[in-house]
Amino acid sequence: RGKLERVYYDSKTVGVKRWMQVYTPVGYSKDRKYPVLYLLHGIGGNENEEWTKGRAHVVLDNLIADKKIEPMVVVFPNGNATTNTAAGGRGGGRGAGFGGWGLPFQNDLIEDIIPFIETNYSVKTDRENRALAGLSMGGGQSLNIGLGHLDVFAWVGGFSSAPNTNPPEQLVPDPDKATRQLKLLYVSCGNKDGLISRSQGVHAYLKEKNVPHIYHVDEHAHDFQHWRKAVFHFSQLIFKPTPK
């Protein structure tokens, strides 16, 4: 089993100390450097530690034990970057521009969280060793921020992405550039999920523009049956020779 710890960091973006959970794999050692997956929760999450309550770290433990994935550091931030550190989910969630979930979280991730992780953990610091994925609200954030920062992330995944997802032509304004830069773009949703039209729209646009991606639809709804499978699948594709 790896280790989950709560760490506090100074968010210059928000102006307060915030916290996140960091998973280090079994045998984590400063003698080696690890790739990093940033994994974002949904609107009901974080103060409830959504991904880890959903046992995502156990899925990763098992895949590492089976040598199916690279040992990696996984960061579970709070995706609602407001001064109310207890807010997590709905607090400020649906305001104009989606409150703390929009630009504030983008800045918190890029300017505060990633530098904190790269200073305090033994990790690789190039784009091909950073992945960004999330569920629902966090799926929308991952597509928005990840595709908007191809210089930072080479692997991007949106699971059951919510209505905060930018329109596809805004997500990928330059299909050739995205095709060149991305190692993986993964879009998944359950076919019983009321939000599936967002994922369908992204997939249709990517297909039309010939941007390589994985589009995975299963039989689940907006729930952890889908998300556990998504993280099981996505984590086995990242930090490896490109599946393209």
* Token output for 84: 């109310």
Residue 73 vs 132, nearer CB to ligand FER: 132
- 36-40, strands of its sheet edge to edge: 3-11, 16-24, 73-76, 36-40, 130-135, 155-159, 184-190, 214-218
Binding mask 94-133 for ligand FER (x = CB under 6 A): x---x-----------------------------------
Ranges within 143-182 binding ligand FER (CB under 6 A): 162-164
User: What is the C-alpha to C-alpha distance for residues 170 and 226, in angstroms, rounded to an integer?
Assistant: 26
Residue from 22, 37, 40, 43 binding ligand FER (CB under 6 A): 43
Residue 43 vs 211, nearer CB to ligand FER: 43
Tell me: does residue 211 bind ligand FER (CB under 6 A): no
Q: What region does 15 belong to: left with phi over 0, alpha with psi -120 to 50, or beta? A: left
Phi, psi of 138 (to 5 degrees): -70, -25
Residue from 2, 42, 99, 146 binding ligand FER (CB under 6 A): 42
**By the criterion CB under 6 A, which residues form the site for ligand FER?**
42-44, 94, 98, 136-137, 162-164
